[in-house]
Amino acid sequence: MQLRLPSSISEAQRCLAEGAVPVGGATLVWAGWQRDGFPEQAVSLRRLPEANAIGPGELGGAVLLHHVDATVPEVLHRAAGGVGTGAVRRAATVGGNIVGSTLRCLLPAALVLDARATVLTADGVYETDLAELLAKRLVLLALRWRTPLASGYRKLEGAAGGAPPLVVAVALHSGDEGRAHLRVAVRDNYDVLSGSAPCEPGAGAGEVLHALEGTELGELPAAARDAVRDQVVEVLARAAG
Ligand SMILES: Cc1cc2nc3c(=O)[nH]c(=O)nc-3n(C[C@H](O)[C@H](O)[C@H](O)COP(=O)(O)OP(=O)(O)OC[C@H]3O[C@@H](n4cnc5c(N)ncnc54)[C@H](O)[C@@H]3O)c2cc1C
Ligand 1 atom closest to residue 93's alpha carbon, by position in its atom list: 25
Query: What is the per-residue pLDDT for 175?
Result: 81
174 by DSSP, 3-state: which? Answer: coil
Flag whether pLDDT at 135 surpasses 90. Answer: yes
C-alpha of 89 from chain center = 14
Instruction: Report the CATH number at residue 6.
Output: 3.30.465.10
Same domain, 12 and 122: yes
78 φψ region: left (φ > 0), alpha (ψ -120 to 50), beta (else): alpha
User: Does residue 112 share a domain with residue 71?
Assistant: yes
144, 164, 194 - which closes a domain: 144
**Among residues 117, 144, 171, which one ends one of the domains?**
144
Atom 27 in ligand 1: residue holding the nearest Cα:
96
* Closest C-alpha to ligand 1, atom 53: 27
Q: Do residue 44 and residue 131 come from a single domain?
A: yes
76 and 193 in a single domain? The answer is no
Which residue segment(s) compose the domain that 10 sits in?
Answer: 2-144
| Residue 110 and residue 6 share a domain | yes
**What is the average pLDDT across 65-93?**
98
Pocket of ligand 1 (CB under 6 A): 21-29, 45, 61, 83-85, 88, 91-93, 95-97, 99-101, 103-105, 139-140
pLDDT single digits (tens) 22-35: 999 999 999 999 99
Distance 231 CA to ligand 1 centre (A): 26
Number of structural domains (the chain) is: 2
As a whole number, the mean pLDDT across the chain is 95
Q: Alpha carbon of 56 to those of 1, 14, 135, 179: distances in Å?
A: 37, 31, 27, 22
Same domain for 109 and 208?
no
Residue 155's pLDDT band, with cuts at 50, 70 and 90, is very high
237: helix, coil or strand?
helix
The pLDDT score that the predictor gives to residue 240 is 87
DSSP code per residue over 10-71: HHHHHHHHTTPEEESS-TTHHHHHHHH---SEEEE-TT-GGGS-EETTEEETT-BGGG--TT
pLDDT at 160: 79
DSSP H or E run through 118: strand 116-120
Quickly state the pLDDT bin for 18 (edges 50, 70, 90).
Answer: very high
One domain for residues 115 and 159: no
Instruction: Look at residue 169 and tell me whether its pLDDT is greater than 80.
Output: yes
Does residue 194 carry a pLDDT above 80?
A: yes
Antiparallel, parallel or unpaired: β 2-4 and 21-23: unpaired
Cβ atoms 83, 18 nearer than 8 A: no
Ligand 1 mean position, distance from CA 125 (Å): 22
- Atom number of ligand 1 nearest to Cα 97: 21
pLDDT at 75: 98
- For the chain, the residue count is 241
Phi, psi dihedrals of residue 118, rounded to the nearest 5°: -95, 125
